[in-house]
Structure 1
Amino acid sequence: MTKWIRWSGLLGFVAFITVLVVFWLFAAAPIIKFSIENFGSQAVGAKVDVDEVILGFNPLVLSINGVQVTDKDKPMSNLVSFDSAVADMALFPLLLGKAIIQDMSLQGVEFGSVRQSSGALPNSEQVTQSQTDEAEPAKQELAAEPAAKAENSSSDPLPSADDILAREPLLTVSRGEKFKSSLATHKQEIDESLAGVPNEQALRDYQSKLDIILAGKFKSLKDFKARKKALDELQDQFKADRKAIKRASAAIKNGKKDLQSQWSGLKQAPKEDYKNIKGKYTLDAMGTSNLAALLFGKDAGGYAATALEYYEKVSPLLASDDEEGDVLEEAKQKRLAGQFVHFPTDRPLPDFWIKHLSFTASLPMGEVIVTVEDITHQQDVINKATTLMAVGRDMPTIKSLTLNGVLDHRNAKGRDQFDLAIQDWQLKGLNLGLAGLELDNSLLDVNADVIFNGSQMNAQGQGSFNQANFSSNDKTVLAKEMVSALANIDTFSVDGKAQGELTHPDVSISSDLDSKLSKAFNKRIKQKQDELANELRKKLADKLLSYGGDYEQQLKQLNASEGSLDGKSKAMGKMAQTEMGDYQSQLKAQAKAKADKKKKELAKKAKDKLKKFF
């Protein structure tokens, strides 16, 4: 028997096994640790840290302790971390370079834990920061979009009348300033023109001078010439004064015409301002048509943004590496280096495959048991999609929680689907952020599903609120009215939808709460609008008065001045028409009168003589 044994070969086999065992004991674990950290870091784009790797032989078990997977967008936080992972590995595929894990369980799983040091890769830290800066606005926009849409669809909250008048461009102000400036300009022109117009005393003096000039007969030629000169001088003054009166009348007439035109527009300005303000700040039933989005949009958007953030980081890890473009590119790079050829087989195996993964995640709301089947980046090789099931356990505030998912990346586009169901979620002290409103307590049932097709998503969900109680710490009338209206509403539903691009979906939120509140709101808002309208009218009228002031009284004064100028103009015209006869005419008249007198005397004497004869 011993002759059949080839001792040299046996010794060589024993030596090979010994070397293999020694390698397994001392080198395999560090190599596996290095491989996990190296290839894991490349996959997630950030550091993957492993404290310890332990190998067991019978059965072949791989234990990994202290794993931290860095969030590449937040280098000081972990995407996921766990205390230990125990994996049952298949031996023979491992000899072929394939990591096939039959069962893997995780302990101490945490999401978003804080790191002691940055997990950014040295050569990608700047790129990561740049990507974070670019992605952060989109995430914030997604989280704020429902509430933003609600705020945009609702009219602005009614501010005070002073706030409105301070922020709005008012016709009353613009026209009032123009009127005020024009009034000052015309007043200056009128005052300057009236300064050259003779007053009543001057007119009386003119009349006295005329009376003196025209009184009595000329004593001599010299007396006539002196009076004629005085009259001519007075006539010249009359002409100058009449021109001054004409200028003053024109200034008053033009001023009245301009001011009356502006005053007409200024009086209409408060009405036009009120109409414009009313149209802009109206809040009615249409304004409350998206109140649910305003109340619940930020919370729903925040949850959605967090879920999408994790999906965006996990989904690329499941994408098949056999896509045509990648294969062609890889072939060009490795054509001269050679490659490992996969020959056809009845039972093909991927390079990496976790058939069954289970762990318990500790969340603020309680524990969630998670089971994942068929994790691999080569789903086309096994022709199976990755499946996910998460079930809540010992959750104080939730009766039941179930999440099912199918991540199918057997083709380049990929199709992932998730379904979420939550029953009797006890909500307490939820700050709604409007008028100090809080949802004191309520039972919430949630049913939601989402489908991802490539870069497109289609999600819809419904939340049913039961036994709802609201309160508010605000002392405003609006807050009190809202709480009073909500006191009669203990059941309502909120529907949400998200469609479009994964990075920027179109999000909408609606609820039957809107219709239930609209009637109560309309009554209160009508009252509030009436109060505001009255205050606005009063303040606009005050502004009008501040610009117009005693315009009506000033207009009466202008009319009186215009009438006085007309009287002065007529008086001056009459005085200007006064003429004085010449001295020769007076002498002829005197001679004629003397001759007539002598003629009468002769006639009388002749008559007396004739009487004597009879």
Structure 2
Amino acid sequence: IDDIQKLQKALKTADDIKESVEKLEKEYKDIKNNFSDDYEQSRKSLKQVDKWIKSDYERARSMAKLPDFSVGNIGMMLFGEQAAGRFNTYLGYAATARKYANKTKSDKPEKVKPPRLKGQDIPFPDKNARPDFWIKRLSLSGQTSDQLKLKGEVINITDNQQFIGKPTEADISGTRDDGAQLSLNAVFDYRNELPMETYNVNFTGFSMANTQLSKSSMLPNKLKTGTGNVLTSLKLEGESIKGKIDFVGDKLVFEFNEAKAKKNKIEQIIRDVLEGIKKIEFIAYVSGTRDDLDFRLSSNLDEEISKGLKASIAKEIEAARKKIEQRIDKEVGKYREQLDEVVKDKEAQLKAELDKYQEKVDQQRAKVDAKKKEIEDKIDSEKKKLEKKAKNKLKNLLN
């Protein structure tokens, strides 16, 4: 019995050892599972690097907003001189008309200081006095130096508009073989105290080839080809001047002075934008007096160049972004590969250690199981021996 008790005690010890081994194996499995999860997360993190980089790119792009470019003087630089010249031409016509109007009108004679104690002749103006001359209708025809054929008429040319109650008015039209057409109406009104002249000129379909523009190195110096349409209105009343020019140029081809080198990127961008523009519209305004004129000009050029600048600079930024992205990808890719190799190497090492640990656990568990079976077999054997002895003793007692 003592032997059985010892064996049962040994069996209990074996069970305790087996329980410890199983607990240890469970801890090992937990460690292995945690390692597998961590390793998988590490691999996902490596893949996440690309997403992080892309996210940084997008965040940087959202912060780097392009400014609104304002180039409000390009139209003025290109066409301001031509528009101002047109206004000056009509102002010159008005000045000439006033000059001759003053020469022909019947002014009051200057006051003469009579000699002392002498009489004086005082003239009384005749409001109903007939004019010295009155050309009711004058027909005109001719041709300009640029082959524009003109015809028209001027009515009521006189030295006394107050008497006839009508202003002098000119209506002239013109055509050219290339399709250009001119329509001009001018009114010279000197019936009131303030002289007044109005001009309305519509010139359409004229060629703009070789039109001189700007002397700036960054702007075209002239037009190679193009068709223009211009509507001009101008009113002068006393010293007051007010006028407007509406211009539309189509099928335009600019010519740049190639002798002048492009100085910087902005000049190149402006040149590229202008070379792509085929239609230009502008409105010019003049107001004030001869000694204090306000001249303004607005055109679609400013907006087109502004958009072109923005698009070109955005393109440059995008190209730079791609270069930076490629460089970062190259650098990050190099370290990503190194990191991947390190992770794989460490995984292999740790896996090998875990496999060794698993092998030892399996060996210990096998030994414990074998020892436990050995003890259980011995217990069964001892029990059988005891049962046999007990039966023999019982038999002897009965005999």
Is residue 431 of structure 1 aligned with residue 219 of structure 2? no
2:201 maps to which residue? Answer: 420
2:80 maps to which residue? Answer: 297
Residues 508-553 of structure 1: per-residue CA shift (max 9 Å, x gap): 111011101112234667999xxxxxxxxxxxxxxxxxxxxxxxxx
Q: Count the aligned residue pairs.
A: 239
1:511 maps to which residue? Answer: 299
Q: Once the 2 structures are TM-superposed, how far is the Cα of residue 342 of structure 1 from its aligned partner?
A: 4.3
Give the conservation status (yes or no) of the 8 Å contact 1:472–1:479: no
Q: Once the 2 structures are TM-superposed, how far is the Cα of residue 368 of structure 1 from its aligned partner?
A: 2.6
Is residue 521 of structure 1 aligned with residue 303 of structure 2? no
* Amino acid in structure 1 at the alignment position of 2:110: E
3-state DSSP of counterpart to 2:304: helix
Give the conservation status (yes or no) of the 8 Å contact 1:444–1:463: yes
1:404 maps to which residue? Answer: 185
3-state DSSP of counterpart to 2:210: strand
Q: Once the 2 structures are TM-superposed, how far is the Cα of residue 507 of structure 1 from its aligned partner?
A: 0.6
Corresponding residue to 2:157 among 375, 380, 397: 375
Give the conservation status (yes or no) of the 8 Å contact 2:94–2:197: no
2:250 maps to which residue? Answer: 466
User: Structure 1 unaligned runs (5+)?
Assistant: 1-282, 529-614
2:130 maps to which residue? Answer: 349
Give the conservation status (yes or no) of the 8 Å contact 2:133–2:158: yes
* Amino acid in structure 1 at the alignment position of 2:195: G
Question: So what's the TM-score if we normalise by structure 1?
Answer: 0.35
Q: Once the 2 structures are TM-superposed, how far is the Cα of residue 295 of structure 1 from its aligned partner?
A: 0.6
3-state DSSP of counterpart to 1:296: helix
Give the conservation status (yes or no) of the 8 Å contact 1:318–1:378: no
Q: Once the 2 structures are TM-superposed, how far is the Cα of residue 436 of structure 1 from its aligned partner?
A: 5.4
1:599 maps to which residue? Answer: none
1:391 maps to which residue? Answer: 173
Residues 376-416 of structure 1: per-residue CA shift (max 9 Å, x gap): 221001111100112113x2455210110111110111222
Change (3 A) 1:372 1:524: same
2:275 maps to which residue? Answer: 487
Give the conservation status (yes or no) of the 8 Å contact 2:246–2:284: yes
1:222 maps to which residue? Answer: none
CA distance in 2, matches of 1:423, 1:333: 59
1:116 maps to which residue? Answer: none
Give the share of equivalent positions with the same residue, in percent: 22
CA distance in 2, matches of 1:403, 1:386: 14
2:40 maps to which residue? Answer: none
Is residue 309 of structure 1 aligned with residue 89 of structure 2? no
CA distance in 1, matches of 2:102, 2:300: 41
Change (3 A) 1:416 1:523: same
3-state DSSP of counterpart to 2:211: strand
3-state DSSP of counterpart to 1:310: helix
* Amino acid in structure 1 at the alignment position of 2:234: V
Corresponding residue to 1:454 among 238, 243, 250: 238
User: Structure 2 unaligned runs (5+)?
Assistant: 1-66, 317-399
Q: Once the 2 structures are TM-superposed, how far is the Cα of residue 421 of structure 1 from its aligned partner?
A: 0.6
* Amino acid in structure 2 at the alignment position of 1:520: G
3-state DSSP of counterpart to 2:75: helix
2:110 maps to which residue? Answer: 330
3-state DSSP of counterpart to 2:276: coil
CA distance in 2, matches of 1:457, 1:398: 32
Give the conservation status (yes or no) of the 8 Å contact 1:471–1:483: no
- 1:200-215 map, 5 Å: none
CA distance in 2, matches of 1:303, 1:343: 39
2:140 maps to which residue? Answer: 359
Question: So what's the TM-score if we normalise by structure 2?
Answer: 0.53
Give the conservation status (yes or no) of the 8 Å contact 1:320–1:412: no
3-state DSSP of counterpart to 1:429: coil
Change (3 A) 1:350 1:439: same
Give the conservation status (yes or no) of the 8 Å contact 2:253–2:278: yes
Q: Once the 2 structures are TM-superposed, how far is the Cα of residue 285 of structure 1 from its aligned partner?
A: 2.2
- What is the root-mean-square deviation in Å for CA atoms of aligned residues? 3.3
Give the conservation status (yes or no) of the 8 Å contact 1:403–1:421: yes
Change (3 A) 1:355 1:443: same
The structure whose RCO (Cα within 8 Å, separation 6+) is larger is 2
CA distance in 1, matches of 2:120, 2:104: 20
CA distance in 2, matches of 1:519, 1:436: 17
1:579 maps to which residue? Answer: none
Residues 392-449 of structure 1: per-residue CA shift (max 9 Å, x gap): 13x2455210110111110111222111111111110223223351322111111121
Give the conservation status (yes or no) of the 8 Å contact 2:105–2:159: no
Change (3 A) 1:376 1:504: farther
* Amino acid in structure 2 at the alignment position of 1:391: S
Give the conservation status (yes or no) of the 8 Å contact 1:398–1:422: no
Change (3 A) 1:460 1:340: same
3-state DSSP of counterpart to 2:100: helix
CA distance in 2, matches of 1:436, 1:291: 8
Give the conservation status (yes or no) of the 8 Å contact 2:149–2:174: yes
* Amino acid in structure 2 at the alignment position of 1:463: F
Change (3 A) 1:322 1:428: closer
CA distance in 1, matches of 2:81, 2:204: 22
CA distance in 1, matches of 2:141, 2:291: 29
Give the conservation status (yes or no) of the 8 Å contact 1:444–1:465: yes
